[in-house]
């Protein structure tokens, strides 16, 4: 019968849509926007704090710029 097939078809579509809506409303992926904390290191010459990745390291010391590194030698 044509009517029952249409009903089953619509029910199938409805089920798929319902599952998709549930998945969309319940995202498993947690948003983690926490950035890795960048340590601050202190210039051994002038005492200014600079992020570690921007600091110039010389053995165990850090400097804000290469000039201060050279001056501290
Ligand atoms: Zn400095």
Domain locations along the chain? 1-30, 38-73
Q: Tell if the pTM clears 0.85, that is, is over it.
A: no
Distance 65 CA to ligand 1 centre (A): 6
Q: What number is the average pLDDT over the span 51-71? A: 93
Confidence at residue 69, expressed as pLDDT on a 0 to 100 scale: 95
Task: Please provide the DSSP assignment of 49-67 as one string.
Answer: EEETTTSEEETTEEESSHH
Element (H, E) at 24: helix 2-25
pLDDT value of residue 18: 95
The token pair that represents 68 in the structure block: 């201060």
In the reported structure, the alpha carbon of residue 41 is separated from the centroid of ligand 1 by a whole-number distance in angstroms of 11
CA 35 – ligand 1 centroid, Å = 26
Give per-residue pLDDT as tens, 1-58. 678 899 999 999 999 999 999 999 876 665 666 666 678 999 999 999 999 999 999 8
Write out the H or E segment, with its range, that includes residue 43: none
């Amino acid at each position: 019968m044509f009517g029952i097939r249409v009903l089953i078809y619509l029910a199938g579509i409805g089920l798929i849509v319902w599952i998709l809506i549930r998945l969309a409303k319940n995202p498993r992926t947690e948003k983690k926007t926490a950035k890795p904390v960048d340590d601050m290191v202190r210039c051994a010459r002038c005492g200014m704090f600079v992020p570690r990745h921007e600091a110039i390291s010389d053995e165990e010391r850090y400097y804000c710029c290469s000039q201060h590194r050279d001056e501290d030698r």
